[in-house]
A and B are shown apart, each in its own frame.
Chain A
Amino acid sequence: MPINFDYSQLFRALDLPIIILYPDGSEFVILDANNAYLDLVCKSLEEIQGKGYFYCFPFSPYVNHHNWTTTFDTVLTQKKTVNTGIFTWLFPITEVSTPKDIRYFDITHSPVLDKDGEIVFIVRSLKDVTKLVGDREVLLEAQQTAQFGYWWINLEKNSMYWTNGLKDILEVEQAFKPDFENTKVLYETIGDEIAFLEAIKASIENRTELKTTIRVRTGKGNLRQVLVIGKPIIFNNICIGLNGIARDITEVHGFIDRLKLLDNELLEIEFQQSHMIRGPLSRILGLIDHLRTFRTPDRATENLLSVISDSAEELDDIIAAIVNKTQIHKDSNR
């Protein structure tokens, strides 16, 4: 086991891209960068060491100029580790880029302080979160496509959280921060609000699945039917909240309503076929039968009756077939 451990070796070998900067007035002098960072920016250490950070990297195609040039301001002011958020990066740099080349980095600026608490160095590290961002984008796209969103109610903090998918359904701004007060306007009626809160209460008390449909008036004024499914979160035998999904089923509801309407129309057609049309037809058939049975027609009349009878029975068969089809439909809908 080596006694004098060389930390610079560790620094170079780290998979996490890191660059160390020395704040010198308005410039940030590059002291060192590990191999992962040099690979990322496609430069050698000799090219950038001892030079100003903004001299080497005067702009970023992914960040606006103001944000780029003031990127270290917060760490300088706060003198503590600052996360600047997720940035897009095109890598590797080639003549023709593809979506596969896009990578995402979660960037952190950590100050190294002297004994007086002043900043000596700034460590800029970039954590590759491409997979995480990719998964999140897939999830967001799935939510938009399937018209569902995720929600979470924290009973301890009396707060709630909605994903963008749910905000899309409810047509509120992505920046909207839902709470128990500002969401009241979304219920179509007070009855809808009471019914929904009762369902939540029952789910918490009985520790059972929440599954209910509510009518909402979206931020843009559209009426929607939303299916809410969730479950209570139990921690140390205490219900600390609920979470689940919400799905826009307005179209499904509309489709079911249209189906019911068509179903009723079909029943009306069946009624007309079986009662209204068959009524006069059965009269014709009855009169033909009466003439044949009780009046003994001559040969010529019998021939004519036979033709009329065949035609009427043909029509009767057609009506019977239509009625049977309607009956099969009715049976399958039971």
Chain B
Amino acid sequence: MIRLSVSDLESLRYWRANEDADLASLIQRLMHLEPPTPVMKAGRAFAKLMENAPQGELTEMPIDGWVFRFELDAELSLPAVRELKAEVLFETPSGPVTLVGKVDGLHGISVHDQKLTERFDAERYLDSLQWRAYLSMFGAREFVYDVFVGRYDGRVVTINDYHRLPFYAYPEMRADVQKAVDDLAAVYMEHVIPAAERTTEAGAA
């Protein structure tokens, strides 16, 4: 049984869209060997902040060595159900695949995901397989990106803008996700598993 994540689907899509990216970088990413960048670490800290955010006003919050300052006037409804994992089985030509993922929030048939970015670019999210996969996995109708725009000053992130970006389920969405899982499973069988075996053998030698 192959176990793949929604992030892996995005890694393959991103790699295909980037002509300069070589196969080695994709394999490394799918093997989860890349160390997290400071931006990724900040994103994780921010996700943790949102997961535990209480009701009320939030102006500044230190968490995991980062400080998030909110210099904006906005209201946000956070779902009561936060950080929810899901697994769905897909049958593919490469064998059965368990697709795993975790959403930041679930409110009925709406899925929420918080993003921290330095520049808001709506089109960046449009082609994403993330919202398609999660809508399919949770049987949901709406996927909302809560996009926070911030600027970095060392380990202080000042958030000065917020965008709510919703996407909706559409008729052939499940087929699109199935196709993406099929493609990823084929890449995984052909490239990632042999690379992992080589790494194991080299370690044992």
A binds B: no
Question: Which A residues contact B (CB, under 8 angstroms)?
Answer: none
